[in-house]
């Protein structure tokens, strides 16, 4: 977990992703994305930067409405 560093506050959003980095930034190339990918926006995924469905549990618990960014081909 991301607590214990001088930058940590209990109200921070990111509590577990790349805690040793000052900024979490992922670069993906177009050819890596393929037909469809879902990217996490809740900071809870175990498969970061991809969504693993963890947002559903959080939403159920808190009444929140978090969800992923889905990148896919346009319907033709």
By CB under 6 A, name the binding residues for ligand FES: 40-42, 44-45, 51-55, 66-68
Residue 33 CB, nearest distance to ligand FES (Å)?
16
Q: Which of 6, 22, 23, 36 is catalytic?
A: 23
Q: How many CB atoms lie under 10 A from the CB of residue 49?
A: 19
Residue 18 CB, nearest distance to ligand FES (Å)?
15
> 39 CB contacts (<8 Å, ≥6 apart)?
49, 50, 51, 68, 69, 70, 71
* Residues forming a β-bridge with 39: 50, 69
Of 42 and 71, nearer to ligand FES (C-beta) is 42
Of 3 and 50, nearer to ligand FES (C-beta) is 50
Task: Give CA–CA dist 58/56, Å, rounded.
Answer: 5
Residue 46 CB, nearest distance to ligand FES (Å)?
8
* Residues forming a β-bridge with 37: 71
Q: Which residues are catalytic?
A: 23
């Amino acid at each position: 977990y991301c607590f214990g560093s001088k930058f940590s506050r209990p109200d921070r959003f990111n509590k577990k992703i790349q805690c040793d980095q000052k900024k979490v930034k992922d670069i993906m190339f177009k050819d890596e994305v393929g037909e469809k990918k879902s990217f996490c926006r809740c900071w809870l995924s175990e498969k970061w930067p991809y969504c693993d469905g963890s947002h559903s549990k959080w939403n159920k618990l808190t009444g929140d409405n978090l969800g992923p960014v889905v990148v896919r081909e346009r319907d033709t």
